[in-house]
């Protein structure tokens, strides 16, 4: 049964060399533990700070990520800035174990004013590509919070969603009681496993850690349970994934066959 890994770590802003060294180090560890795929957080190589990293050399970083995949013989999901004319996208790439970029996806739901001021949203849903006997689709951060996004990928055949993310810690929202506020933890503990359950898909959700980020990266099963969930610190999650579990989960929770697309309008 193939295994996969999720890296939760702190990507220091504009410390590209140091961040790539960390990915390289964890790619080695993940491969040693038998993982065939490593998923890393949103804009990890540059650090997540939209206005400060928008001018980074995405193409150069992607070449480095391809080299890491090839060197350790492990598939890799890495997120980079993608320049297209005068526009910039937050993208994620899936490299195979030979370092070939199998697919690239541009984040289609930008989050918050800083991202929206410097980046342009993508206008295409992710491809679905084969890897490890599974069908993989990419998404980035805020994308997974919209049920339509993962539903679309599942209906197009995806059974594993790889989601680099950068979820900030819950801020002070004016003295309201904590149960009635924006709460970043609820994204990890509620929405991610709900997406897995309602679509019968695995989800690999890789977040930053450090003082400004929530942690709580996870690998969710197609039953909506956690095969692994990180705390607040640096962590490498490893779990086995199996196409047969997707079939079993969808046999028990028949959402994809019971849904009624014509009804929803």
Q: What is the DSSP letter of 107?
A: -
Residue 244's alpha-carbon distances to 55, 125, 200, in angstroms, are: 43, 25, 11
Pairwise CA distance, residues 146 & 39, whole Å: 20
- Using the minimum distance from each CB to a second copy, give the nearer residue, 34 or 121: 121
Does 152 interact with a second copy (rule: CB under 8 A)?
yes
Least separation, in Å, of the C-beta of 131 and a second copy?
Answer: 22
Does 214 interact with a second copy (rule: CB under 8 A)?
no
- Using the minimum distance from each CB to a second copy, give the nearer residue, 85 or 260: 260
Helix 58-72, helix 16-32: angle, nearest 10: 20
- Concerning whether 107 is annotated as a catalytic residue, the answer is yes
Residue from 3, 49, 118, 194 that binds a second copy (CB under 8 A)?
194
Residue from 99, 221, 236, 239 that binds a second copy (CB under 8 A)?
221
Of the candidates 36, 141, 162, 245, the residue annotated as catalytic is 141
Does 147 interact with a second copy (rule: CB under 8 A)?
yes
Does 264 interact with a second copy (rule: CB under 8 A)?
yes
Residue among 51, 54, 30 at smallest CA distance from 40: 30
Beta-strand runs (E) in the chain:
3-8, 35-39, 75-84, 87-95, 101-106, 129-131, 134-138, 160-164, 202-206, 218-220, 226-229, 235-240
- Concerning whether 141 is annotated as a catalytic residue, the answer is yes
Q: What is the DSSP letter of 46?
A: T
Looking at the annotation, which residues are catalytic? Answer: 42, 107, 141
Binding site for a second copy (CB under 8 A): 108-109, 111, 121, 123, 125, 142, 145-149, 151-152, 173, 176, 179-183, 186, 190-191, 193-194, 197-198, 221, 223-225, 245, 248, 252-253, 255, 258-261, 263-265
């Amino acid at each position: 049964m193939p295994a996969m890994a999720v890296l939760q770590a702190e990507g220091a802003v504009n410390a590209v060399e140091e961040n790539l060294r960390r990915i390289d180090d964890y790619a080695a560890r993940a491969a040693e533990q038998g993982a065939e795929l490593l998923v890393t957080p949103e804009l990890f190589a540059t650090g997540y700070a939209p206005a400060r990293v928008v001018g980074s050399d995405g193409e150069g970083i992607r070449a480095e990520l391809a080299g890491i995949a090839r060197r350790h013989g492990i598939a890799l999901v890495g997120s980079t800035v993608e320049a297209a004319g005068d526009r910039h996208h937050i993208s994620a790439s899936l490299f195979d174990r030979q370092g070939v970029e199998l697919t690239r996806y541009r984040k289609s739901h930008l989050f918050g004013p800083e991202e929206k001021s410097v980046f342009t949203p993508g206008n295409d849903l992710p491809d679905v590509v084969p890897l490890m006997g599974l069908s993989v689709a990419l998404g980035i951060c805020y994308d997974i919070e919209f049920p339509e996004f993962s539903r679309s990928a599942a209906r197009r055949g995806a059974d594993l969603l790889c989601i680099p993310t950068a979820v900030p810690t819950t801020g002070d929202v004016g003295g309201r009681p904590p149960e009635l506020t924006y709460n970043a933890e609820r994204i990890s503990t509620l929405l991610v496993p709900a997406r897995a359950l309602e679509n019968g898909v695995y989800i690999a959700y890789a977040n930053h850690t450090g003082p400004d980020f929530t942690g709580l990266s996870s690998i969710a099963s197609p039953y909506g349970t956690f095969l692994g969930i990180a705390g607040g610190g640096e962590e490498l999650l490893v779990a086995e994934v199996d196409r047969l579990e997707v079939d079993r989960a969808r046999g028990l929770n028949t959402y994809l066959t019971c849904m009624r697309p014509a009804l929803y309008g």
